[in-house]
A and B are shown apart, each in its own frame.
Chain A
Amino acid sequence: ETGVTQTPRHLVMGMTNKKSLKCEQHLGHNAMYWYKQSAKKPLELMFVYSLEERVENNSVPSRFSPECPNSSHLFLHLHTLQPEDSALYLCASSQAGGRSNEQFFGPGTRLTVL
Chain B
Amino acid sequence: GENVEQHPSTLSVQEGDSAVIKCTYSDSASNYFPWYKQELGKRPQLIIDIRSNVGEKKDQRIAVTLNKTAKHFSLHITETQPEDSAVYFCAASKNYGGATNKLIFGTGTLLAVQP
Contacts and interface: CB of A to CB of B under 8 A. Distances in A.
Nearest to A96: B99
B102 to A, nearest CB: 6
B101 A31 contact: yes
Contacts of B43: 4, 90, 105-108
A97 B98 contact: yes
Contacts of A25: none
Nearest to A42: B105
Contacts of A107: 42-43
B85 interface: no
Contacts, number: 66
Interface size class of A (residues with CB under 8 A): 20 to 34
Given A48-B100, A94-B101, A96-B98, A101 B32 contact: yes
B106 A42 contact: yes
Contact of B108 (A31, A42, A48, A94): A42
Nearest to B5: A42
Interface in B41-99: 42-46, 49, 89, 91, 93, 95-99
A108 B97 CA distance: 26
Interface stretch (A14-22, A50-58, A69-77, A79-87): A50-58
Interface string A33-76: 00000001111010010110001100000000000000000000
Nearest to B46: A102
Contacts of B103: 43, 45, 103
A56 B93 CA distance: 14
Nearest to A102: B46
A102 B98 contact: no
B4 interface: yes
A93 to B, nearest CB: 10
A25 to B, nearest CB: 13
A42 B107 contact: yes
Contacts of B42: 107
Given A40-B107, A42-B89, A102-B49, A31 B44 contact: no
Interface of B: 4, 6, 32, 34, 42-46, 49, 89, 91, 93, 95-108
